[in-house]
Amino acid sequence: MDKWLNHPTALKIISIILGLLLWAVVHIDPDTSPQTVTSNIDTKTIEASVITADGLDEDKYVLSAMEPTVVRLDVQGRLTDLMRASSDDDYIVKVDLKDAKPGIQELPLTVSLPKGIQLVQMSPRTVTVQLEEILTKPFELQVVAEGKPADGFIAGTPTIIEPTGAVEVTLPKDDMSRIGVVSAEINVEGADKTVVIKKAKVVVYDSEGIEMTNAVVSPETVQVEVKVTPPFKTVPLQVRYTGSLPDDLSLVYVKPAVEQVTVYGDQKTLNELQIYDGVVLDLSNVKKSGSLQVKTQLVNGIKGVDPAEVTLEVVVAPIVTRTLSGLSVAIEGAASGLSAVIRSPADGNFDLTVSGAETVLSKLKKDDIHIIANVEGLEPGVHVVPLQVDVPPYVQTVLANGQTLTVSIELVDNASVEAEQEESEEVGGTPSKEPEGALPDPGGENSGSSNAANGSNSNS
């Protein structure tokens, strides 16, 4: 016997028999007949399977509430199938909103199970949903600058580069009336140059300043900028001239495309600035009427000018001359106590020849020309004083070679004149009675000389 048990073949047969006996012990149900074995079907419970909304027309409605949001599933199937569908995402529970209407309503649930698995129970089998009608309206976008620029700089008004136009906001109908502002922000803290944000987020706030996170906006971002510059001021534009037109031409008018410019500089310089004359037209470049581009120059401490270039409309015409007669001369600057009298020309008036375009000279009046003689600082006596002639734009005075405009003016001390008048009145007074022995000569030889003598005395 011992020899047989030690044989390898015998040991293999005994091992197989023991294995079969162990399998029978595990699989034979004691409550049944010895020939019946247990089934390999098992069950599984998914405690919280998420409910998915399906078929919602998102252009018309929004799902504002759903209760419950998860369900409990009891399923069964072969052990291998249950193990294969190990993730809860394999069990899909849906509510069909295709035919749902606005408001609160109860709808049935449907479930999709993995292959080979069956539903035993679903709890609950219905769900309560609330649908709200949605609206889309355009709103004006406001760009808000946050922060403070660097010292000595100021931030301009934020602007939208692109896209331009209104922003469309989509919200449930009841929420639309709560919108307070639609805005994008740009930060300029410490900036010393223009700030550009390519993708500034568009945010919707309610009337209390709270962000409405359920709002859908289009576009979601915008490109904005804020110009950060030194202090600036808007002033009238004045064109200056250099060079000369051809001899046969005269200006009719020069009209800039803009009447004002924005200048940048320190605040003190801006406070003193009243006009900007940094646009200079070189008349030697003007050959005919037309438009010219002239760059703006930085003058009087100005750091920048906007626009940097100005279009000038220039109109020229053949030159003609015209003489205006009887122009009066205004005397200015006479010291207190002095009177000024024009001695030459005798009548105190001037004839002046001017040139310009015919259309300009045809409208010219005497009152448009001002001739001024300044005698400031001059002592009593006769002086030759140069004249200052002010003519309207695009009009020039015409002088012969070497000719200067001067006037002879006498300055008289008023006190001396008054003293002479008083002395003259005392010396030239009329006697109270005739001298004795002086009888009139009626028609005699000495009659004429007597009258002459009397006349002389009366005028002395």
Q: Using an 8 Å Cβ cutoff, are 372 and 387 in contact?
A: yes
User: Which range is least confidently modeled, 34-48, 108-122, 342-356, 360-374?
Assistant: 34-48
* pLDDT band per the 50, 70, 90 thresholds, residue 110: very high
Domain boundaries defined on the chain:
41-134, 140-229, 232-318, 321-415
What are the pLDDT digits (tens) for 67-87? 999 999 999 998 888 888 777
Higher pLDDT, 89 or 406: 406
CATH number of 232-318: 2.170.120.40
Q: What's the rounded mean pLDDT across residues 344-351?
A: 84
Q: Taking residues 29-57, what's their average pLDDT?
A: 74
pLDDT of residue 445: 37
- Cα separation, 444 vs 346, in Å, equals 44
109: pLDDT strictly greater than 80? yes
Question: Length of the chain, please?
Answer: 460
**Residue 310: predicted pLDDT:** 95
State yes or no: pLDDT of 204 exceeds 80.
yes
400-434 residue pLDDT tens: 777 788 999 999 988 776 666 666 665 555 444 44
Residue 81, pLDDT score: 84
* Helix residue spans in 273-372 (DSSP H): 358-361
pLDDT of residue 237: 94
**CB of 181 closer than 8 Å to CB of 217:** no
**232-318 and 321-415, same CATH topology:** yes
Look at residue 259 and tell me whether its pLDDT is greater than 70.
yes
Radius of gyration of the chain (CA): 55
Mean pLDDT of the chain: 84
Please say if the pLDDT value at position 459 is more than 50.
no
The SS3 assignment for 402 reads coil
In this prediction, residue 388 has a pLDDT band, given cuts at 50, 70 and 90, of: very high
Does residue 11 surpass a pLDDT of 70? no
Segment 184-209 shows an average pLDDT of: 93
Bigger pLDDT: 310 vs 42: 310
- Predicted confidence at residue 311, as pLDDT, reads 95
pLDDT for 260 equals 95
More confident residue, 446 or 300: 300
Per-residue pLDDT band for 156 (boundaries 50, 70, 90) equals: confident
Helix (H) or strand (E) holding 456: helix 447-459
pLDDT given for residue 206 in this prediction: 95
Residue 184 near residue 167 (C-beta atoms within 8 A)? no
| pLDDT > 90 in the chain, percent | 53
Average pLDDT over residues 322-351: 89
Structure-token match 């000018």, residue found: 305
What confidence score (pLDDT) does residue 420 get? 65
Average pLDDT over residues 22-33: 57
Identify the CATH assignment for 321-415 out of 2.170.120.30, 3.40.50.300, 3.30.2270.10, 3.40.50.1240: 2.170.120.30
Q: What is the CATH number of domain 140-229?
A: 2.170.120.40
Which residue did the predictor score with more confidence, 308 or 446?
308
Dihedral sign computed on CA atoms, order 100, 104, 108, 113: positive
Taking only the tens place, the pLDDT of each residue in 298-331 is 888 888 899 999 999 999 999 999 999 889 999 9
Q: What is the pLDDT of residue 218?
A: 94
Domain 41-134 of CATH type 3.50.50.60? no
Does residue 296 contact residue 279 with C-beta atoms inside 8 Å?
Answer: yes
Are the beta carbons of 413 and 338 closer than 8 angstroms? yes
pLDDT category, 159, cuts 50, 70, 90?
Answer: very high
Quickly state the pLDDT bin for 7 (edges 50, 70, 90). Answer: low
3 state DSSP class of 268:
helix
Pairwise CA distance, residues 200 & 191, whole Å: 17
pLDDT at 453 over 70: no
CA distance 330 to 389: 10
Identify the weakest region by mean pLDDT among 45-54, 101-110, 392-401, 449-458: 449-458
Work out whether strand 406-413 and strand 338-344 pair parallel, antiparallel, or are unpaired. Answer: antiparallel
